[in-house]
Structure 1
Amino acid sequence: MRNLITDVRGLLIGQAHDPVAATGVSVALFERPTVASIAILGGAPGTRDTALLEPEMTVEHVDAIVLSGGSAWGVSAADGVMAALAERGRGFPVGGLRIPIVPQAILFDLLNGGDKSWAKGGSAEPPYRALGRAAVEAAALDVALGTAGAGYGATTATLKGGLGSASARAATGQIVGALVAVNAVGSATIGDGPHFWAAPYERDAEFGGRGWPAAITPGDLGLRFKGGTGQNTTIAIVATDAALTKAQAKRLALAAHDGLARALRPAHAPLDGDIVFAAATGHSGAPSDAFALAELCSTAADVLARAVARGVHAAAALPFPNAKPSWRDRFAS
């Protein structure tokens, strides 16, 4: 167990970033067509090809799932992913053709200090198509955390955000993992201190081992907000090696949102576009009953909460004026 989403058999993670533009892309690449669904609980989401993930829709499987920075410009990352997968013969067969099924979610990282002249009417092309292709080519079991992939340019209300991952074995024996780009309108830490809201779920001091503060005051509970409309969004993937139907994957995605609520204050805000994809690679069989599915759902929420804290804990500040400090800058000593 690497404590990464790639502990789930049947998937790899590829990542690519542009340090000048301060943005990036993460791709979950499935070894075979995989059942997936989605739950959107934030008020300002940005997506591509996600309607097909609803249980009543015809397409049953996906080839990859993309998380990207860049706001609406970022949706072109899926173009690069599709092109790379088409070259490998992947995709839904239609009349002798193959169309890779690649849903995507985006976050807003346009005001983090990077050079995004293409968002200001410049002649340069946005980097996302190239980053999507590069991410597929880089797909591996290892997953860089913090200022990496879709979390490269991410921020929170108080600290640098980032890319987080975690995994666990459920009581059923099946593996659940999470990957998240933390770009929240709120905060992952309690008040102005180093303690994470996700502290009760931490394993092996994976995000500093600070536990809870001695007390949580009314001031600590006061909301801290970042930016304005559209400048946020936490996007995530939870995956399991269980075999699930699309309806069960939908339930897994909905339950995993509890992890965002445990790790971020606030979550699911009108100014967030909080999205969770759920994928089931099917390597370990179906849950035996509704109680077994509930075990997977509970594990998914815990794992996602831990992944959020790991992403913020591992992040490094961007090298730009007025950049958000990292957790390590403020609290590591």
Structure 2
Amino acid sequence: MKNLLTDIAGVTVGHADDARLASGVTAVIFDQPAVAAIDVRGGGPGTREGALLDLANTVERVDAFALAGGSAFGLEAGGGIQAWLAEQGRGFVVRGAVIPIVPGAILFDLLNGGDKAWGRFSHYRDLGYAAAANAGADFALGSVGAGCGATTANFKGGLGSASAITAGGVKVAALAAVNAVGSVTIGDGPWFWAAPFEIDGEYGGRGWPSSFTPDMLKLRMKGGAAANAAENTTIAVLVTDAALTKVQAKRLAMIAQTGFARAIYPVHAPLDGDVVFTAATGEKPIDPVVGLTELGMIAANVMARAIARGVYEATALPFEGALPAWKDRFA
């Protein structure tokens, strides 16, 4: 176990980003189509193929997920990943046509100091293609891929990942690009809200403060009074090797959203576009009640850990006035 999304067999992850742009794309690629679902809790989401994952609709499996910066421009990243998959002959077959299925979600990083004057067409389709081509078992965390330009209320955001195994041997792993309107840390200190779920000091081992003060619990919001509904979002992918139906994958996504609540304060606001995609590779049978409940419990913990790691591993952007990274202050 590498404590990464790729601890699930048959899953690879790739990044592509542009330092001048201060933005990027992360591709999650499945060796074989995986059963998938989506759960949206934020008030300002931006998604691609989200309706396809509705339980009432026909297609149950996906070939990849696209996570990107760039706000609505970043939705083009899915087209780049789709192009790469098409070259591999991957996709949903309709007689002679092969259509790669690539749902995606975006976060807002257009005001982080990077050069967004890209002309007629944005870079995100090309970045999506490059991210898919770069996909492998090992991948970086922090200010890379979709987390390249991410920020939170008080520290640089980034991309994090974590994994775990249930008592019954079912694996579950998460990947999150953390660009929340709120804070992943408690007050102005080094403590993470997700501290109770930390394993082996993966985000600094600081635990919780000895007590909580009113100042720690006050609202800290990116942009303050000037905050805009389009400026935030945490987007995540959760994958398990359990055998799940589309309905069960949806339930798992809903439970995993509690990991957002354990790691971000405040969360699921009108100012966020929080989205969780879930996918199941179908290797291991699971009890539909007790087994799914246990899996969801651990999945929420894993999600909280992935979010904390995204901030812990981030590095500050090289622009005047950029937010510090957690390690700049507390490492």
Name the TM-score class by shorter chain: over 0.9
Task: Kindly provide the CA deviation profile for residues 57-111 of structure 1, in whole angstroms up to 9, marking residues without a partner as x.
Answer: 1001100011100000001101111111001001111231101000000000000
Could you tell me how far apart the structure 1 residues matched to 2:133 and 2:101 are? 17
Task: Please give the per-residue CA displacement for 1:254-297, whole angstroms capped at 9, x wherever unaligned.
Answer: 000000000000110000000000000112x2212300000110
Alignment of 1:193-208 (within 5 A): 193-208=189-204
Q: Higher mean Cα deviation, 221-230 or 182-191?
A: 221-230
User: Superposed, which structure 2 residues align to 1:213-252 within 5 Å?
Assistant: 213-227=209-223, 228-229=227-228, 230-252=230-252
Distance in structure 1 (CA, Å) of the matches to 2:194 and 2:12 = 26
Detail structure 1 runs of 4+ shifted over 6 Å in the superposition. none
CA distance in 1, matches of 2:288, 2:82: 36
Structure 2 residue 60 is matched with structure 1 residue 60: yes
Secondary structure at the counterpart of residue 81 of structure 1:
helix
Q: By how many angstroms is 1:307 displaced?
A: 0.4
Cα distance in 2 between the residues matched to 1:164 and 1:191? 21
Q: Which residue of 2 aligns with 1:261?
A: 261
Q: 2 CA distance for matches of 1:289 and 1:329?
A: 45
Residues 252-331 of structure 1 mapped to structure 2, 5 A cutoff: 252-283=252-283, 285-331=284-330
Aligned to 2:143: 147
Contact 1:172 1:295 (8 Å CA) reproduced: no
Deviations 1:223-279 (A, max 9, x none): 100022210000000000111000000001000000000000011000000000000
| TM superposition score normalised by structure 1 | 0.97
Query: 2:10 and 2:256 mapped to 1: Cα distance?
Result: 20
Q: Which runs of 5+ in 2 are unaligned?
A: none
Q: 2:155 aligns with which of 156, 159, 163?
A: 159
Structure 1 stretches lacking a partner, 5+ long:
none
Aligned to 1:169: 165
1: distance between equivalents of 2:108 and 2:291?
Answer: 36
CA distance in 1, matches of 2:288, 2:233: 34
Structure 2 CA distance for aligned equivalents of residues 172 and 246 of structure 1: 21
Q: Could you tell which deviates more after superposition, 123-132 or 226-235?
A: 123-132
1:55 Cα deviation after fit: 1.8
Matched, 1:34 2:56: no
- The two structures have a TM-score, normalised by structure 2, of 0.98
Partner of 2:183: 187
Distance in 1, matches of 2:120 and 2:116, equals 9
Aligned counterparts of 1:222 and 1:248: Cα–Cα separation in 2:
37
Task: Work out whether residues 39 and 277 of structure 1, in 8 Å CA contact, stay in contact via their aligned partners in 2.
Answer: yes
CA contact (8 A) 1:28 1:66 kept: yes
Map of 1:74 onto structure 2? 74
**Range with greater deviation from structure 2 (87-96 or 315-324):** 87-96
Give the superposition deviation at 1:214.
Answer: 1.1
Cα distance in 1, alignment partners of residues 299 and 111 from structure 2: 31
Q: Which amino acid aligns with 1:147?
A: S
Task: Provide the rounded CA distance (Å) in 2 between the counterparts of 1:304 and 1:42.
Answer: 16
* Total equivalences in the alignment: 327
In 1, Cα distance between equivalents of 2:111 and 2:60: 37
Q: Per-residue displacement from partner, 1:32-77 (whole Å, max 9, x unpaired)?
A: 1110000000000000111111222100110001110000000110
Residues 14 and 138 of structure 1 are in contact (CA less than 8 Å); yes or no, is this contact kept in structure 2? yes
RMSD: 0.8
Q: Structure 2: how far apart are the matches of 1:54 and 1:204?
A: 37
Paired residues of 1:117 and 1:124 also in contact (CA < 8 A) = no
